[in-house]
Amino acid sequence: MNAVFRTTSAVTIFDAGYKSNVIPIQARAVVNLRIHPGQTIAQVLAHLKRVIGQAFLSYFTG
C-alpha cells in the first residue's frame, strides 16, 4: 500500500568490511527503487543526491 502514495526503495545488496572490529574504508549498497508514477527519475535522483551526496552516488537504469 505504501507504493500507492510514494516512491519506495529496497536495499538488495550491502557490501562493506570483512571484519567485525574494523571500520571499512568503503561500503556499497544496491538499492532498487519503485518510482511513483507522479515522479520522474530526475526528481528521485535529485532527492538522493541531496540526502546521500553527489560524490557518493552512482546509478544505472535498466
Q: Could you tell me the pLDDT band of residue 59, with boundaries at 50, 70 and 90?
A: confident
Question: Does the predicted TM-score (pTM) go above 0.75?
Answer: no
Distance between CA 12 and CA 19 in Å, rounded? 21
**pLDDT tens-digit profile of 6-21?**
999 999 999 999 998 9
Question: Where are the domains positioned within the chain?
Answer: 2-56
Reported as a single tens digit per residue, the pLDDT across 23-49 is 998 888 888 999 999 999 999 989 988
- What is the pLDDT, as a whole number, of residue 43? 94
